[in-house]
Amino acid sequence: MPQQPDRVATIVLSCCALHNLLRLRKPNADLPVDKENPDTHDNSELPDIAGNYRGYTNVQANIQRQYLVEYFNSEAGSVPWQLDMI
């Protein structure tokens, strides 16, 4: 579901606020997302997506890339000067 940048910023900030509120109200909650090692940024509690979905991420990345190519080359996503830069 595409969103405007302003709305995305609001959504992200709202999620952060809700997360912080949850952490204040339930400080002993065992949330895997909060078990990241601050030095290495490793979180062994989260599943290894690459190991579970072989090739899936590459397929999804190619689909997303193609979507962006089509969007930025369409009338809706292009800017007037982009063809002058090629």
Q: What tens-digit pLDDT sequence spans the chain (86 residues)?
A: 678 889 999 999 999 899 888 878 887 776 655 666 667 766 666 555 555 555 556 677 778 888 888 888 888 888 888 888 87
| pTM reported for the whole predicted model | 0.38
Contact 36, 43 (CB under 8 A): yes
Which residues, 6 or more positions from 22, have their beta carbon under 8 angstroms from its beta carbon? 29, 31
Distances (CA, A) of 60 to 8, 66, 71, 85: 21, 10, 16, 29
Grouping H, G, I as helix, E, B as strand and the rest as coil, residue 11 is helix
